[in-house]
Amino acid sequence: MRFALPLTATCLAGTLMAHAPDTVFLEELTWTELRDLVEAGTTTIIIPTGGTEQNGPHMVLGKHNVLVKHKAGEAARRLGDALVAPVMAYVPEGDVDPPTSHMRFPGTITTPPLVFEQVLEYAARSFKQHGFVDIALLGDSGGNQASQAAVAERLNAEWADTPVRVHHLTDYYPGQGDDWLVEQGVAAEDVGSHAGMHDTASFLFLDPSKLRLDQMERGTGPTGNGVVGHPGRSTAAFGEQILEMQIDAAVRQIERLRTSSRP
């Protein structure tokens, strides 16, 4: 009887080791599980870049980080041979002193563009070392785009004679969502450009707990409440379509670049 528990534990451990975890997120894997996945052909890694910034009185500071992790995860699952790196949550958001852009609002965290680029570059170098051959940079914020493009250009020039390519994804952000909302009859000024309908609608569909529904007021601009647009016009149905469009755009561009970026 006293051997029953250890025997059961041993059997359970053997069962667990026989099955790879059902996840696309790198940080949920062990190093041996990752090694085996890469050796089996999972050689695409998506590096999501988000940001910690003000999003008006109605939306959480981590908006970009939550949304980009979800969308990167869905893209990786659809690709079938891709994983997702931890979200880069510290990105360029303006100057500290005197504060500019979103740094004028409490809770925003900024980094200089060159610092952001260096972290992004060494993440990519790390993944090259570990056997990934397609490294996709998925940026959910406008301030991330130029740095992502610069890193991809530098590394691709350096690695031209290797199988490894870095892809700055341009179809994902801002994507077609804003134009699509206008096509549905929403005024462009209501759609807005920051903390407006795009992200508010996405959260209404994905996770309304990230919103303060009683604070969804019309924007008064970057020097007012921090909102540009009218988040109160958002619906969960709008959000579902916007998320789908962005995820699909990322998947299609990664699939295309995995072929076209090589001779």
pLDDT at 263: 86
Q: What is the average pLDDT value for the chain, to the nearest integer? A: 94
What is the spatial distance between Cα 113 and Cα 3, in angstroms, rounded to a whole number?
Answer: 60
Q: Does the pLDDT of residue 238 top 80, yes or no?
A: yes
- The CATH classification number of 23-175+246-260 equals 3.40.50.10310
| pLDDT, tens digit (0-9, with 9 covering 90-100), for 17-69 | 457 689 999 999 999 999 999 999 999 999 999 999 999 999 999 999 999 99
The verdict on pTM exceeding 0.95 is no
**What confidence tier does 6 reach under pLDDT thresholds 50, 70, 90?**
low
Q: Does the pLDDT of residue 14 top 90, yes or no?
A: no
What is the spatial distance between Cα 170 and Cα 180, in angstroms, rounded to a whole number?
Answer: 17
What is the spatial distance between Cα 34 and Cα 20, in angstroms, rounded to a whole number?
Answer: 10
- For residue 38, the one-letter residue type is V
Average pLDDT over residues 206-232: 96
Q: Where are the domains of the chain?
A: 23-175+246-260
| pLDDT, tens digit (0-9, with 9 covering 90-100), for 76-97 | 999 999 999 999 999 999 999 9
Residue 255's Cβ-side half-sphere holds a number of Cα atoms within 13 Å equal to: 12
| pLDDT, tens digit (0-9, with 9 covering 90-100), for 94-113 | 999 999 999 999 999 999 99
Q: Which two tokens stand for residue 232?
A: 């109160």
pLDDT at 68: 98
